[in-house]
Amino acid sequence: MTSVRVTDLVKDYSIRTGLKRTRLRAVDHVSLELTPGRTVALVGESGSGKSTIAKILTRMETPSSGTVDVRLDDGTAVARSRYRREVQMVFQDPFASLNPFHSIEHHIARPLRIHKRTTTAEETRERVLEMLERVNLTPAANIAPRRPHELSGGQRQRVAIARALAPGAQVLIADEPVSMLDVSIRLGVLNLLGRLQREDALAVLYITHDLATARHFSDEIVVLYRGRVVERGPSDAVILDPHHEYTKLLALAAPDPERPGRVTSSDPVDRETIDNSTCYDHFTGSWQEAGVPAAARAAAP
C-alpha cells in the first residue's frame, strides 16, 4: 500500500509575450492526499492546473516549490528508483499514448520486464494475458499480437490501464481518462477503473471536467480554479452543497457537444471576476485562505 502526500505545491511557468517574459503561476499552493482504496477527483475547467499537478506527481515536471511525499504502509519513503513503479499515469489520449509500431503484448511486457515483475519470457507472456483479461480485453490471446490501430479507442484505453498497472503500481493518476472516448463507452472504462481500484486498493487521482462522474467515482472532490483549490470535501457534500461561486458555476455547466469532454456554462458569467482567494473546506466546515502555505492558512474573513 502506498500513500502520496502533496504539500504546498507551486508551479510557475515562464512564458514569452513578445519580447517580455512573464511568470504564470499554474499551480498555487495545492495540498492533497492520496490514500489506498480512495479516489480523489480533481475537477476544474481547462487551464486550471490539473495536468500540471498530474505531471508533477508522475515526475514529468518538477515543482517550483512544495513537496510530494510517497510512503509505503510502514512509513518508509519510496526511493526514487521505485517511484515509477509505484505511481503510474493513464493519459487522456489513448491514440497518442501507445506506440503504433509495437504490439499490445509489447506495451504490457515492457513494464513487466523493466520492473522485474517476471523472470522468464513464458512468465511474461502469461502475465500479459492475465493483465489483458483483467481489463476485459478478451480473448486475450487474440488481442495481444494486435497493434494499437487495430483496437477501438476504448480498447486502447484499457491497454493503457493494464500497462499502468503492470509494474504493480499502487497509485494511479488518471488525467481525463475517458474524455476523448465516445460517450457510450465512457462508463465502461470508468467502471473498470473503479473495479481495479477496489480489487487492488489503489490510491487514485481522477482528473476530470465532469462533476457527475467525479461524484459517482470518487470519495473526495477537490475543485481547482486558476491554480488554487477553492473547495474540497466528501464528494456528495461538494456536489449537493457547493459553497464556492466557482463550484456552483461548474455544477450548472453542461457538456459541450462540440468539444467532447469539455463543458460550457449555461450562464455566461465572466470567470475572471470569480475570486480564488478563498477555499471552502467541507471537512472542517469553514472558509480558509487559498494560495498560501498550509501551515499559514488562516480562517478567511
Ligand X SMILES: Nc1ncnc2c1ncn2[C@@H]1O[C@H](COP(=O)(O)OP(=O)(O)OP(=O)(O)O)[C@@H](O)[C@H]1O
Is-contact 25 12, C-beta < 8 A? Answer: yes
CA 242, distance to chain mean position in Å, is: 22
Question: At closest approach, how far in Å is the CB of 42 from ligand X?
Answer: 8
Is-contact 126 141, C-beta < 8 A? Answer: no
Phi, psi of 131 (to 5 degrees): -65, -40
Q: Which is nearer to ligand X, 46 or 286 (CB)?
A: 46
Q: Which is nearer to ligand X, 217 or 225 (CB)?
A: 225
Pick from 276, 257, 255: nearest CA to 265: 255
Task: Compute how many other C-beta atoms are within 10 angstroms of the C-beta atom of residue 117.
Answer: 16
Question: At closest approach, how far in Å is the CB of 207 from Mg ion?
Answer: 7
Q: Which is nearer to Mg ion, 104 or 221 (CB)?
A: 221
Question: At closest approach, how far in Å is the CB of 53 from ligand X?
Answer: 7
- Using CB distances below 5 to 8 A depending on partner kind, what does residue 15 bind out of Mg ion, ligand X, none? ligand X
List C-alpha distances in Å: 242 to 143, 246, 289, 297. 44, 9, 17, 21
- Using CB distances below 5 to 8 A depending on partner kind, what does residue 139 bind out of Mg ion, ligand X, none? none
Question: At closest approach, how far in Å is the CB of 215 from ligand X?
Answer: 18
Q: How far apart are CA 176 and CA 208, in angstroms?
A: 5
- Using CB distances below 5 to 8 A depending on partner kind, what does residue 43 bind out of ligand X, Mg ion, none? none
Segment (H or E) for 113? helix 104-114
Q: Which residues make Cβ contacts (< 8 Å) with residue 184, sequence separation at least 6? A: none
Is-contact 204 87, C-beta < 8 A? Answer: no
- The 3-state DSSP class for residue 94 equals coil
- Using CB distances below 5 to 8 A depending on partner kind, what does residue 284 bind out of Mg ion, ligand X, none? none
Q: Which is nearer to ligand X, 13 or 283 (CB)?
A: 13
User: Where do contacts with ligand X occur on this chain (CB under 6 A)?
Assistant: 13, 15, 24, 26, 44, 46-52
Residues 37-56 that bind Mg ion (CB under 5 A): 51
Question: At closest approach, how far in Å is the CB of 259 from Mg ion?
Answer: 13
- Using CB distances below 5 to 8 A depending on partner kind, what does residue 300 bind out of Mg ion, ligand X, none? none
Question: At closest approach, how far in Å is the CB of 160 from ligand X?
Answer: 17
Residues that contact Mg ion, how many (by CB under 5 A): 1
Q: Which is nearer to ligand X, 18 or 75 (CB)?
A: 18
Q: How far apart are CA 181 and CA 256, in angstroms?
A: 14
The mark string for 50-89 relative to Mg ion (x by CB under 5 A, - otherwise) is -x--------------------------------------
Tell me whether residue 27 is exposed, middle or buried, using C-beta atoms within 10 angstroms of its C-beta: 0 to 12, 13 to 18, 19 or more: buried
Segment (H or E) for 11? strand 2-17
Q: Which is nearer to ligand X, 96 or 240 (CB)?
A: 96
Q: Which is nearer to ligand X, 131 or 173 (CB)?
A: 173
Question: At closest approach, how far in Å is the CB of 260 from ligand X?
Answer: 13
- The 3-state DSSP class for residue 160 equals helix
Task: Name the site residues for Mg ion (rule: CB under 5 A).
Answer: 51
